[in-house]
Amino acid sequence: MEFTALFLAIAIAMLAAWRGPRQVAIGLFALILVACVATFLHHATDRLTLSF
Amino acid sequence: MTDTQAVTLNAVALYGLALLLAAAFAAQLLLHELPCPLCLLQRILFALLAIGPILNIRFGPRPSHYALSLLTAVLGASVSTRQVLLHILPGDAGYGSALLGYHYYTWALIGFIAAIVLLAAILLFDRQFDHRAAPGTSPGKFAQGAVWLVVGLTALNVLSTLLECGFAACADNPIVYELLKQAS
């Protein structure tokens, strides 16, 4: 569900960048980037069995 | 490089992103392999890479627009590196089919690193930031086509992800379109 919302938010941000005010597009971009980081951290819980 | 040439280069970059999103779609539809959560996040970050070029085409090239794409590419490289590390141990077959010897997430890592290098390279050309040749003029058909193509592919991804995950959390190893399964 969160991925559908992220794709939708990006489509809206693209339209804002193309037709709307610049600040709105950049604000939306910032929100989406933070949401992507949060989604990544949520899905990065599997332990990596690596040793260096 | 003039601002007009930079805008054309940004449009070419958008066509490149569109090709990448279309290739991921083709793999999904032709090979019947549904993208995993981390694969979806990498697609999302490729789509997010397009915001910078769209702003450059509309408002003229600015360092801040390139910075948006650089931040996205760094996050994308982190996500794809994580997935490569998940499957790096000997004996692990990886997730999904390989294309030309590499899995999708490995190609994604190469793509994000290439984006970082290309963005750094294009930032070297200061003259593109001097002025806008003809302020207020609308971008040409080539650039408009690139923008609408990327917007269209992102909208198709909204639909595809909704079909795949439905209204719940996406499966770790998806094998069916959840929304279609619920409907049947």
Number of structural domains found in chain B: 1
Helices (H), chain B: 3-30, 37-48, 51-59, 63-86, 104-122, 141-165, 178-183
User: What residue segments make up the domains of chain A, in order of their start?
Assistant: 2-39
Q: In chain A, what residues touch B177 (CB-CB under 8 Å)?
A: none
B21, B46 in Cβ contact below 8 A?
yes
Question: What are B63-88's pLDDT values in tens digits?
Answer: 999 999 999 999 999 999 999 998 88
B54, A16 in Cβ contact below 8 A?
no
| Mutation site for A-interface testing, chosen from B112, B132, B161, B165 by largest number of A Cβ within 10 Å | B161
Distance from CA of A40 to the nearest CA of B (A): 7
Q: In chain B, what residues touch A26 (CB-CB under 8 Å)?
A: 55, 64, 68
**Domain that residue B177 falls in:** 3-183
State residue B92's pLDDT score: 83
**Complex confidence, ipTM:** 0.91
Is B91's Cβ below 8 Å from some Cβ in A? no
Question: What are B18-61's pLDDT values in tens digits?
Answer: 999 999 989 889 988 899 999 999 999 999 999 999 999 999 99
